[in-house]
Structure 1
Amino acid sequence: MSDDAQYWYNTETGEVEEGKRSSWTNLMGPYATRGEAQRALESARARTESWDSEDEEWGGKKQ
């Protein structure tokens, strides 16, 4: 494995792939480590919740 390996989370299989092997429509990434790729859905969920909260705050200030 090279130092510049990239990892992808396959949303269809729930597996982590080293290198892009599947269709891009099923992949999240790239991630620098296998662990980051394994937490892809958790990270995406947390970002979405944060953005939703920011949108609510912004919307409230706009009035």
Structure 2
Amino acid sequence: MSENEQWYYDSATGEVSQGKQEGFLDRMGPYPTREAAEDAIATAKERNKAWDEEDEK
């Protein structure tokens, strides 16, 4: 899958785009599908929670 086929989530605007765009500070990804990019924040929260639980052990 090329970079232009991958999806990104912009945490500053809440927008999802395909392919790399200008700027990278607020960009999350790449994701293989639009749906995965749209779920970027939820995925990050789940991962952070799992990591926090692991750290507590």
Same fold (TM over 0.5): yes
Where 2:45 maps in the other structure, the secondary structure is helix
Higher helix content, 1 or 2: 1
Q: Unaligned 5+ residue runs, structure 2?
A: none
- Give me the CA root mean square deviation: 1.1
Larger Rg: 1
C-alpha separation in 1, matches of 2:45 and 2:38 = 13
The alpha-carbon deviation at position 22 of structure 1 amounts to 3.1
After TM superposition, the score normalised by the length of structure 2 is 0.90
Counterpart AA for 1:43: T
Match of 1:12 in 2: 12
Aligned residues: 55
Counterpart AA for 1:25: L
Q: 4+ residue stretches of structure 1 with deviation over 4 A?
A: none
Q: Percent of pairs identical after alignment?
A: 42
